[in-house]
Chain A
Amino acid sequence: MEAIILQILNGLDKGGAYALIALGLTLIFGTLGVVNFAHGALFMLGAFVAVTLNHVMTLEKVVLSETETTAWGTPLEIRTPYIEDWFGETGAFLVDYSVPFALIVAVPFMLMVGIAMERGLIRYFYKRPHAEQILVTFGLAIVLGEIIKKFYGANPIPQSAPEAFAGSIDFGSGIVYPYWRLVYLFFSLAVIGAVMAFLQFTTFGMVVRAGMQDRETVGLMGINITRRFTIVFGLAAVVAGLAGVMYTPILPPDYHMGMDFLVLSFVVVVVGGMGSLGGAVAAGFLLGILQSFASMQEVTSILPGIDQIIIYLVAVVILLVRPRGLLGRKGVFED
C-alpha cells in the first residue's frame, strides 16, 4: 500500500510538468490551430530564466563590494546587491529563493517571447499545412536550443531549491517525499486552476472559448479575435516557462531538455485529445503516474524495459482504441 502511494506521489510532480506543457500546447492548438513543436523549447527557456537569475544574483554577490551594478537586468536584480550589502540576511534569503523569484522575472519575459514568436513567425503559418507548421517550429526549437547551448554549454546546470524546502517530508510508514516535489505539485495544480478559471470566468476567457468553437463567427461579431489569440499564445508560453522555472531543482536544466519533454508532452496532448484542456491535464497526470508505476522494481522484473516505453505504449493503445483521445471533442482535427 505504501509503495503504491509513494509511486502515485512520485508520478504526480512529473505529471504536473507534463500537464503544464500539454496545457499550453493544446491551448495553442485549440485557438490558433497550430502544431507547435517549439513548445518544449519554451519550457527550457523558462528553466534558463531561473538559471540566469541565479547566476546574476550570485555574480553580483561576488562583486558587491563595488558600488556599481551590472547595467542590464530587471529592477529586482539591480536591487539585490544593495540589499545583500546592507542586509546580509535578506540578501542571502533572496539568493536562496532565486528559483521562486525567477517566476516573477519569467512571467513578463515569457509573455514577450511568446508574443514575439506568434507575431514574428507563427501567424504566417495559420493557413499552411500542419506538416509545414511542425517543420518550422521544429527548426525554431533547434535554433533556441542551440542558442542556449552557446551561452550555457552542453552540461546540465544544477539549481537548488530554497533551503526550507530542501529536505524530505515524512508521511510516516515509510513514505518519504521531497518537499520541493510537493511544492511543484501544488504549484502546477494552482497554475492549471488559474488558467482554467481565467478561461471559464472572465469575459476574455469566454471570448477565447467562443473563438475556439467558431473563430469566424466571433470575428464577424466585431471582436478582434486575432489579438486575443496572440495573447493566448503568450499565456501558453508563460505557463510553459513557469513550469520550466519550477522544475529546475528537480531536473538540472540543459539545452535539450525541451526536446525531451516536448516528445512526451505531445504524446500527452494526443492521449488527452487534441484541443481538450481537461484531457491534457488528466492525461499528463495519468501518464506521469503510470510512468512511475512502471519503473517499480516489481513491474520491471516481470516486464523488463516497460518503464522506458510505457508512455508510448499507452499512447499507441489509446490512439487505436479511442482515436480522439481521452476527452477529445468531436470535429477537432479529424482526418
Chain B
Amino acid sequence: MSTATAAPVSKAIPQVGEPKATSKGDLMTLAIFIAVVLTAPIWAIPIGAGYPDLLQKFAIFGVFAIGFNILFGLTGYLSFGHAAFLGGGSYIAVWSFKLLGMNILPAVLFGTLFGGLFALAIGFVALRRSGIYFSILTLAFAQMSYNLAYSVLTPVTNGETGLRVLRDDPRIFDDKSGGYDGTLIGNLFGLEMTGYTAFYFCASVLIIAFYISQRIFRSPFGLMLRAIKNNQTRMKFTGLNTRPYALTAFVISGMYAGLAGSLMAVTDPLAGAERMQWTASGEVVLMTILGGTGTLLGPILGAVSIKYFENIFSAYNKSQLLDTFSFLPDSIAEPLVSVLGLFVGEGWHLTLGVLFMLIVIYLPGGLMEGARRVSAMLRKRKAEKTDASSGQTTPAE
C-alpha cells in the first residue's frame, strides 16, 4: 500500500472563493445576503420559483447545508449521517406541537437542542476515527436511527404513517376554550406559519444561521477547524488535542440539521422516517459540493440550485417537452424529446446523479470555484485588453 491509498489530507477540496476576510467585506456580504434573501419573493417570480413552498425549501435546505459545511467544508470530516439529525429535529418539533401547542418557538428550540445532543452522542463515538471510517460510522448510526424509527420506535415516530399533530393531542398551551380548539398550523404567538409568513420566518432563521457561520469562519475556532482539515497529524504533534474542536464542529452542524428539521415541521407539521434515510444525507453532501465546499455562500447556492432544478425538472413531462421543441421538425424533435424525457419528471434523480458526477469530475470546488474561474478569466482578458491598448507598457526583456 503505497502512494495510491495514502490520500493527502491537505489536498481534500481546495479552499476556493474566499472573500476578503475583513470585517468590512464581511459586513458587505452579510448586507447583500440579507437583501437578496428578503427580496426573494420578488426576484424568484421571473425564474418561475415565486411561490412560498419552494422558497421555504430554499431557506430550510440552506440552513441544513450551511451547518453541514461547518463540518465537512471547514473541518474536513465527511459525514454520511446528517439525515439522522434532520429527521430527529423534525420528530421533536412535531412532538413539541403535540404536547406543548402549536407555537413554533419551543418546537424550533427543542428541535435544535435535540439535534445538538444527538450529534454529541454520535460524534463522541464516531470522531474516534477519521477518513472513510468516520463516514461509515456516521452512516451506520444514521441507518440505525432510520431502522429504529421505522420499527421499534413506532410508538414515538408512528412508523411508516409518519408523525402528525392530531385534534385530541394535549397541546397544553393552546387556547382550546369555547369549543374552538385552534388550528393545526404552527404559529408564532398567533402569527400563522403559512405561505410567505412562513417563508419570512425561515428566511430570518437562515440569515441568523448565515451570520453565525460567518462568525465561525472568521473566529480563532474556525481557524483551528481549518488547521484540523489541513493537517490533523501536525496539530496533534504540536500537543493539541483536536478532538474537542472536531466534536464542537460536529455538534454545531448537528444543531443546524436539527434546526432545519424543525423548520420543516414548522412549515408542514408532520415528520416521517424517510427524512433520516441515507439518501437525504447524500443530498446535503451534494448541495455542499455543488455550491462549493468550505465557502460561506456556496452551500446555500448549492441548496437553492438543487431544490430549484428539482422543482423545474420534476414538473416537466413529455408533452410539455414536445411543446417546447415544437418549432423543430418532427424528425429532430421526437428523438430529442425521448432523450430529454429521461431526465425530467420521474427521471429527475438521473439528472441529479449525472450532475453529481459532472461536478465532482470537472469542478470539485463547486459553483463558487466556477464563478471564481470565470471572473479570473474575465479579469485576465480585461488586463490583456488594457495592455494591448496602452501599447508600449510591456518592455522587451
Contact = CB atoms under 8 A, between A and B. Distances in A.
Interface of A: 29-30, 32-33, 35, 121, 124, 126, 128-132, 134-136, 138-143, 145-147, 150, 212-216, 259, 263, 266-267, 270, 274-275, 304-305, 308-309, 312-313, 315-316, 319-320, 323, 329, 331-333, 335
B361 to A, nearest CB: 6
A279 to B, nearest CB: 14
A308 B153 CA distance: 12
A147 to B, nearest CB: 7
B148 A309 contact: yes
B4 A33 contact: yes
Main secondary structure of the interface of B (DSSP, over half): helix
A138 B282 contact: yes
Which of B5, B133, B282 is packed against the most chain A CB atoms within 10 Å? Answer: B5
A266 B5 contact: no
Nearest to B80: A134
Contacts of B12: 129, 131
B67 to A, nearest CB: 18
A253 to B, nearest CB: 18
B379 interface: no
14 contacts: A135-B356, A136-B361, A138-B282, A139-B360, A142-B349, A214-B2, A215-B4, A216-B2, A308-B148, A309-B144, A316-B141, A319-B128, A323-B128, A333-B132
A146 B135 contact: no
Interface in B1-27: 1-5, 7-9, 11-13
Contact of B354 (A139, A313, A319): A139
Contacts of A216: 2-3
Nearest to B78: A131
A31 B204 CA distance: 50
Main secondary structure of the interface of A (DSSP, over half): helix
Contacts of A263: 139, 143, 278
Nearest to A218: B2
A226 B360 CA distance: 23
B257 to A, nearest CB: 19
Contacts of A124: 361
Interface of B: 1-5, 7-9, 11-13, 78, 125, 128-133, 135-137, 139-141, 143-144, 147-148, 150-153, 232-233, 278-279, 282, 285-286, 289, 342, 347, 349-350, 352-357, 360-361, 364
Given A134-B135, A139-B354, A308-B147, A33 B152 contact: no
Contacts of B150: 308
A135 B11 CA distance: 16
A142 B286 CA distance: 12
Contact of B147 (A138, A141, A309): A309
Report the 10 A-B pairs with minimum CB-CB distance, sorted nearest first. Answer: A305-B152, A142-B353, A139-B356, A33-B4, A308-B147, A33-B5, A146-B350, A143-B353, A139-B357, A312-B140
A142 B356 contact: yes
B289 A135 contact: yes
A323 B131 CA distance: 12
Which of A128, A131, A266, A333 is packed against the most chain B CB atoms within 10 Å? Answer: A131
B326 to A, nearest CB: 24
Nearest to B293: A131
Contact of B349 (A126, A146, A214, A312): A146
B2 A215 contact: yes
Contact of B131 (A126, A130, A313): A130
Contacts of B353: 139-143, 145-146
Contacts of A267: 136, 140
Given A33-B4, A308-B148, A333-B1, A129 B11 contact: yes
Contacts of B286: 135
A139 B286 CA distance: 9
Contacts of B78: 131, 134
B22 to A, nearest CB: 30
B144 to A, nearest CB: 4
B253 to A, nearest CB: 16
Contacts of B144: 308-309, 312-313
A41 B357 CA distance: 15
B352 A142 contact: yes
